[in-house]
């Protein structure tokens, strides 16, 4: 089965530093997402992206966050100035379609971000 | 808003035991319901889904029935194997908000010989 690939698997950074989390979605997919899970808490939706723009975002996704599809294959999440509370597992996902509420999302294995 | 509540883990079972992981939800409209599974070192994978009331999703011996009257989507398997050890996530998506899955906290299942 095709896979969503995320790099790095672990990222350690100092508070206030910028980080970029990278994802390679499945090649023929059109919809891209970021979710995160803080340790012991629920997996939370951050943002969805389609046709080179954000289609939906959550309250968590504030001005410190941005997403980009720089080259037609990668999908990145940037955190401009990391805070301790940004420490979490970040999951990238992609899907071939959207809008029906029942399509299958394919998730990557996650990037564990630790902010010190 | 939408929310999902699933039973606390970890759940530890012997091989061939019966599994139930409870999941209840709160949502407006008619959500689709999902179970995702995360094996060690891997991403979340869709295990099964149901898109309307009384639908039963099934895959790999796992089943869950969409119960609107009890707002539940409990995951069951008649005989678990060691290879089923993983974290199981219940999730829903609201009508027309297909990209925005609302997840439960996940339930870790450990199956022993």
The model's pLDDT over B7-63, given as tens digits with 9 standing for 90+, comes to: 888 999 999 999 999 999 999 888 899 999 999 888 889 999 998 899 999 999 999
Check CB contact under 8 Å for B105 and A40.
Answer: yes
Flag whether pLDDT at B96 surpasses 60: no
Label residue A6 by pLDDT band (50, 70, 90). Answer: very high
Across the A:B interface, residue pairs with CB atoms under 8 Å apart total 74
Mean pLDDT of A53-70: 93
Looking at residue A63, what is its pLDDT? 94
Higher-pLDDT residue of A34 and A42 is: A34
- Nearest-Cα residue of chain B relative to residue A46: B100
Q: Which of B32, B29, B28, B11 is nearest to B20 (CA)?
A: B11
**Burial of residue A65 (number of CB atoms within 10 Å: 0-12, 13-18, 19+):** middle
pLDDT at B95: 60
For A63-81, the pLDDT digits (tens) are 999 999 988 789 999 999 9
pLDDT at B59: 96
Q: Identify from B26, B31, B100 which residue to disrupt to test chain A contact, counting A C-beta atoms within 10 A and taking the largest count.
A: B100
DSSP letter string, B4-30: EEE--S-EEEETT--EEE-EEEE-SS-
Task: Round the average pLDDT of chain A to a whole number and report it.
Answer: 91
For residue A39, the model assigns a pLDDT of 87
CB B34 within 8 A of CB A101: no
pLDDT of residue A42: 86
Q: What confidence score (pLDDT) does residue A32 get?
A: 93
B97 pLDDT above the threshold of 80: no
Contacts of A51 in chain B (CB under 8 A): none
Question: What integer is the mean pLDDT of A28-39?
Answer: 92
Q: Residue B113 has what DSSP assignment?
A: -
- B99 vs A104: CB contact, 8 Å cut-off? no
- The pLDDT value recorded for residue A28 is 87
pLDDT of A58 strictly over 80? yes
Q: Could you tell me which residues of chain B have a Cβ less than 8 Å from any Cβ in chain A?
A: 4, 31-32, 36, 41-46, 49, 51, 89, 91, 93-106
Taking the alpha carbons at both ends of chain B, their separation in whole angstroms is: 41
């Amino acid at each position: 089965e095709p896979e969503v690939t995320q790099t790095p698997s672990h990222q350690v950074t100092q508070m206030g530093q910028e980080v970029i989390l990278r994802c390679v979605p499945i090649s023929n997919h059109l919809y891209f997402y970021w979710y995160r899970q803080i340790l012991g808490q629920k997996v939370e939706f951050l943002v969805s992206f389609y046709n080179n723009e954000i289609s939906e975002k959550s309250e968590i996704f504030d001005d410190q966050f941005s997403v980009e599809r720089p080259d037609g294959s990668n999908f990145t999440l940037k955190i401009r100035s990391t805070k301790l509370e940004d420490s979490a597992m970040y999951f990238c996902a992609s899907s071939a379609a959207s809008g029906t509420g029942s399509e299958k999302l394919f998730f990557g294995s996650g990037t564990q971000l630790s902010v010190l | 808003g939408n929310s999902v509540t699933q039973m606390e883990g970890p759940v530890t079972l012997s091989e061939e035991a019966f599994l139930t992981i409870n999941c209840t939800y709160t949502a407006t409209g008619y959500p689709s319901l999902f179970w995702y599974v995360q094996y060690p070192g891997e991403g979340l994978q869709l295990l099964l889904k149901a898109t309307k009331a009384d639908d039963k999703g099934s895959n790999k011996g796992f089943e869950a029935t969409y119960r609107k009257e009890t707002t539940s989507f409990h995951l069951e398997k008649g005989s678990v194997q060691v290879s089923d050890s993983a974290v199981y996530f219940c999730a829903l998506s609201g009508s027309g908000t297909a990209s925005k899955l609302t997840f439960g906290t996940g339930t870790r299942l450990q199956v022993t010989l």
